[in-house]
Structure 1
């Protein structure tokens, strides 16, 4: 059979194209560090790679949520620390005011100082970070605490009127901010998020201040820190000042103000849990990246050797083509 120049050219061009395609494929591998550019090249590995990337995306989302919650808790801890400092200062002033050597004028000065602390206490309860109130539960848009007719209100409810265990009290107590950190998010039959499947990262204000009232020796005493401190200040200003009454109020104040320290401990526990979850997800991220490399990645050194070998083969083919396909008379015709 006669082999024509056209046949040689066709076969040569096809072989050269194959070499060029393989050279380009190897070049892409070396440049990107990936075995395949398209899922069609290896469907089975593409499915594995997709699953790994999906898991990595989930973990990245959880880590982002954890960082957000940690920042929120850090701000909450700062606020609670300030509240605790105010409480401690108030205790010192109350003890000083209860000294029998104090005159009425001196007690009035202490009462004024206590009222200054009340203002600081209220301002701290309404701490706003980046446009969000941190102690208002899901109410982050408006100040959760306000004074109405001299009494402390929380999200529209007078705290002295809210007794523990009532429907309104439980609603406010459980009204906390939550976030998905991979605890198995699911919904209740009524389409609400199940609280056990998300992480609660906010401290509700009512849980800090306390609510309701208590009867002490026939006296109706507030259970919330703010109004109780106000009652003590009023007693220091009263013409009928009673040391025994202030002593009883102070004993109750020491009890209810312990809420602040309890909440600081709770914030610490929540922060520690987030730290544990972050470490867990960091380990998962490391393992997923290793799996991703094993599925999608290349052996860089080996791929470079293949690429250089293919480049040599391609250049050799070009040189061979120059010898195989000799010029004919048609190359010189115009």
Structure 2
């Protein structure tokens, strides 16, 4: 009978080396399968920390871009309304000029007044525009106002009765800004207060003034009905001032949109760059991984061969 004798320390070391080789082979296999160099945090703690930082920055930038998309939607809708208002103001100016011509009869002026009244109604609808169920010209009171008696009031309301003169338009909103955070140090105001656009300034001082589009439209309608050309001229002059003001608002809204568009472009570019750097840290180098896998596979086979040879040694091999 052949007596085999192995060195326990050598066997233990061979087993340890074999296990380490298997672990490395498993890692290389995972890298080649997933395309990622770092499979577990322990594979590269420093690299893993960097990847988490990159991912956090990219995620935050995506949130900012989502905010920009929402802000852009509100700004675009606000600008659309302001542009529609400008169109109506221009038409009112044309109607005022037409009414002042001496060839107009009382019947034709009445017809013009009826068109003015239709524009007035359209302006009221514009002033109470809602986007996704929210009034965009009410300041921060985007859901409207409910008085102590439980009566609901939209931002703009044509009041009839003893509480105010007939055809007086009241503003039930406020002047608060709605601000969106669109960058680490960038904010944008997404609204225009309703009284600023339709009254020409704060309701407390501008309601019923020469810059109140509703008051001017009503005055023009009454002047046309009565044939008062002097009042028509006054309305026309007021409409010119209102038109200039609306143009300023439209320009401001366009500037805000342009500004956040540039921020979004910068954030998108930054995310692309961050993703590229993250990829350089995280993604596997296939050529290097294949080479390492091949070398490790050869080393493992060598370890197995050595272990097999060691296990075949007998007591006479050590006594020789």
Q: Does 1:155 align with 2:172?
A: yes
Equivalent-residue separation in structure 2 for 1:83 and 1:263 (angstroms) = 11
**Residue matched to 1:282:** 268
Does structure 1 retain, via aligned residues, the 8 Å contact 2:213–2:242? yes
Equivalent-residue separation in structure 1 for 2:23 and 2:184 (angstroms) = 48
**Residue matched to 2:25:** 23
Unpaired runs of at least 5, structure 1 = 157-171, 185-196, 215-219, 327-334
**Residue matched to 1:255:** 241
Displacement after TM superposition at 1:273 (Å): 0.6
Displacement after TM superposition at 1:198 (Å): 2.4
Query: Which TM-score applies when normalising by structure 2?
Result: 0.79
Partner of residue 295 from structure 1, selected from 281, 305, 320: 281
Does structure 2 retain, via aligned residues, the 8 Å contact 1:135–1:202? yes
Q: How does 1:73-222 map to 2 (within 5 A)?
A: 73-142=75-144, 143-149=154-160, 150-155=167-172, 172-173=174-175, 175-184=176-185, 198-209=187-198, 210-211=200-201, 221-222=209-210
Does structure 2 retain, via aligned residues, the 8 Å contact 1:49–1:295? yes
Change (3 A) 1:183 1:4: closer
**Residue matched to 1:227:** 215
The one of the two structures with greater contact order (alpha-carbon pairs below 8 A, sep at least 6) is: 2
Does structure 2 retain, via aligned residues, the 8 Å contact 1:136–1:204? yes
Query: Which TM-score applies when normalising by structure 1?
Result: 0.76
- Which 10-residue stretch deviates more, 315-324 or 137-146? 315-324
Does structure 2 retain, via aligned residues, the 8 Å contact 1:80–1:264? yes
Change (3 A) 1:50 1:228: same
Larger radius of gyration: 2
- SS of 1:181 mapped into structure 2: strand
Q: Does 1:266 align with 2:266?
A: no
> In the TM superposition, what whole-angstrom CA distance separates every residue of 1:167-208 from its partner, at most 9, and x where no partner exists?
xxxxx44x1211111253xxxxxxxxxxxx622122222221
Unpaired runs of at least 5, structure 2 = 145-153, 161-166, 313-320
